[in-house]
Each structure stands twice: as structure tokens, then as C-alpha cells.
């Protein structure tokens, strides 16, 4: 039974969320189709770039993502109240960046004209502060672009996007680990730094050029449109360094069952069993909120 979106997403207070979409009929529309032999892997970069670019315009902070051959996941912090900090011109600028006018020679004048329309600005402010609009602006252009490439019409995504509330930062980190390990579970890679189109791979690439990044707290990801690079930045950091998070993901990759968790777990992980329970909970259909079992709270 379909759950109303207002029961899944807190549009007033926001919070941490695990969201994602799957291609229609679970087809390989973003990878190599085993039946036709056609390769659509380049579309994974479309999704990756778009989800990060949109995070600069909406009240969303992206901490993790993985783009697979027929679906994607995002781990994010939704901050709807952030929209109240923008003045009218900022709302207009963000909207016209999202939907550029046909004539851009006098963009400043167009921003000013839109900002002067208070009723329209109020509507756009709500849209830019809405997680559902973020997902809509991510999925719809990808679908149109893919259909144009295939010279066809019809649905590209399988129904509504899925969403799952995450109760705290530890649950977010477990969700991030689940996403970063997705290619390894699918047999597409055997090392956590190898898979393409994952947030961890991009973070480690950046750290290769700037080793100090390894010991800095994990911060939201964004897209440097000038250099066409995924970079980290912003004040909303997590209480874990990239080095420690990488160690947590590597340990999780080597441990498949709660029963075999032992003292070899990274000290920053907390209780290994409760961690594995949280990671495993991300395997469920992302619809109902992830909860931390009471017995795991005492051990964490």
C-alpha cells in the first residue's frame, strides 16, 4: 500500500534521509544491457552530476550516493528551514539557475523582476525547500535526456522515489556505508576505493591530491562546475574523519553477519553488532523510518 509522502518526510523540521529511484521494470537503463549489448553507463555520470548540482540550489546537503546500472541511492540531510534565510533575490537567482531563461543577456534584471513578484517568490521558496521537488528536478531531466537518446517516449523511472527517515547521524553513516558497498555486493568491484560513481570513491580521489583531507571530518559533497570535480566543503560536518569512515566501510565489507563481529572492529565504529544491524536495515525497501533497536542503543 502506498504511504503518503507527508508521513515519510518531515517538511517542517527535515532530518537525515535515505532516498532513491529505480529504472522502470528494473531494466539496465544506466548500464550494459545483457540482452541488447548496448552500454548506457555514461548515464550514471549524468545522475551523479545532477544530484550534486541540485544540492547547491535546494535545502539539501548530500553526504553519500551510489549510482548503479538500474537504480541510485542518496544519503542526505534535508534542511527545509534553510529557505527562510534566503532573501527574495536569492530565491529568484536559485530558481533561474535551475530553470534558465531563454535570453540570459540581462539575467540580473530578470532576477530583480522575479524577486519583485512576492506571490511567485513565496511559491518558489516552498519548492526550493521541498525534498520532493529536489527529486523531481533530478529525475525528470534524466528521463527526458535518456528518452531523447533512445528516440523513444514513456517512463524511465519506476514510480515514485523511495524515501526512508534516518533517526541520527550514526544511522546516516550506516546508510552511507551501505551505499558505498553497493557495487561490491553486486560484484562490480572488490575494494572500497575502486567502484565508480560512489561518494567514497570521489572523497578518496580528492584526498589523493590533498592527503590532509583524510583526517578532516566528513562534510557535504558538492559539484565544482568550473573544474568539473566533486569536492567536499561546508560547515555541516559529521563526527567522523574520512580515514575513520573508510576503515569502517572496509571492516563492514569484510563482515557479512552480526554473529562474527568481534574486537577487530575499528574503535570509532561503536558497538559492531548494532552497526551491522543499522547497515543491514538499509537493505529493506526504503519506505518506513529506520529505527535503532533498544538493545543496540545501550551497547553503542
- Whether residue 299 is contained in a domain is answered as no
- Whether residue 141 is contained in a domain is answered as yes
Phi, psi of 223 (to 5 degrees): -105, 120
- Tell me how many helices (H) and strands (E) the chain has: 11, 6
pLDDT value of position 231 = 65
- Whether residue 248 is contained in a domain is answered as yes
- Whether residue 159 is contained in a domain is answered as yes
CATH code of the domain in which 112 resides: 3.30.70.1290
- Whether residue 294 is contained in a domain is answered as no
CA distance 98 to 81: 20
Interior CA angle at 170 toward 164 and 173, to 5°?
75
> Which residues, at least 6 apart from 42, have a Cβ–Cβ distance to it below 8 Å?
none
pLDDT value of position 226 = 56
pLDDT digits (tens), the chain, 300 positions: 567 776 789 899 999 999 999 998 667 788 887 777 788 889 999 999 999 999 999 999 999 999 998 999 999 999 999 999 999 999 999 999 999 998 878 899 999 999 999 999 999 999 999 999 999 999 999 999 999 988 888 889 988 899 999 999 999 999 999 999 999 888 887 778 777 899 999 899 889 988 998 999 999 998 776 555 566 666 678 999 999 999 999 999 888 655 555 658 888 888 888 999 999 888 764 544 444 433 333 322
Q: Indicate the number of domains in the chain.
A: 1
Residue 133 · residue 99 · CB < 8 Å: no
- Whether residue 280 is contained in a domain is answered as no
Range of the domain at 240: 8-227+235-257
Q: Which three three-digit cell numbers place residue 286?
A: 526504503
- Whether residue 198 is contained in a domain is answered as yes
Residue 245 · residue 179 · CB < 8 Å: no
- Whether residue 48 is contained in a domain is answered as yes
Amino acid at each position: 500500500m502506498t504511504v503518503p509522502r507527508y508521513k515519510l518526510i518531515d517538511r517542517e523540521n527535515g532530518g537525515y534521509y535515505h532516498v532513491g529511484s529505480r529504472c522502470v521494470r528494473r531494466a539496465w537503463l544506466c548500464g550494459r544491457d545483457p540482452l541488447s549489448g548496448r552500454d548506457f553507463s555514461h548515464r550514471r555520470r549524468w545522475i551523479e552530476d545532477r544530484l550534486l548540482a541540485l544540492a547547491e540550489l535546494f535545502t539539501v546537503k548530500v553526504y553519500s550516493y551510489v549510482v548503479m546500472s538500474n537504480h541510485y541511492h542518496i544519503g542526505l540531510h534535508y534542511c527545509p528551514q534553510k529557505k527562510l534565510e534566503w532573501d527574495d533575490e536569492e530565491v529568484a537567482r536559485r530558481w533561474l539557475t535551475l530553470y534558465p531563461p531563454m535570453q540570459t543577456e540581462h539575467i540580473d534584471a530578470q532576477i530583480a523582476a522575479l524577486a519583485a513578484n512576492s506571490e511567485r517568490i513565496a511559491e518558489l521558496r516552498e519548492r526550493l525547500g521541498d525534498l520532493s521537488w529536489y527529486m523531481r528536478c533530478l529525475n525528470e531531466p534524466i528521463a527526458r535526456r535518456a528518452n531523447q537518446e533512445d528516440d523513444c517516449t514513456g517512463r524511465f523511472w519506476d514510480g515514485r522515489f523511495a524515501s526512508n527517515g534516518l533517526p541520527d547521524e550514526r544511522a546516516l553513516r550506516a546508510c552511507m556505508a551501505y551505499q558505498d558497498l553497493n557495487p561490491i555486493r553486486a560484484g562490480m568491484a572488490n575494494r572500497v576505493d575502486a567502484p565508480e560513481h560512489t561518494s567514497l570513491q570521489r572523497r578518496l580521489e580528492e584526498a589523493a591530491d590533498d592527503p590532509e583531507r583524510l583526517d578532516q571530518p566528513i562534510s557535504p559533497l558538492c559539484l565544482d562546475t568550473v573544474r568539473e570535480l566533486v569536492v567536499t566543503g561546508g560547515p555541516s560536518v559529521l563526527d567522523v574523519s574520512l580515514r575513520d569512515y573508510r576503515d569502517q566501510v572496509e571492516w563492514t565489507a569484510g563482515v557479512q553477519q552480526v554473529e562474527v563481529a568481534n574486537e577487530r572492529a575499528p574503535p570509532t565504529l561503536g558497538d559492531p553488532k548494532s552497526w551491522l544491524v543499522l547497515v543491514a536495515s538499509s537493505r529493506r525497501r526504503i519506505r518506513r523510518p529506520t529505527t535503532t533497536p533498544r538493545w543496540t542503543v545501550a551497547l553503542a
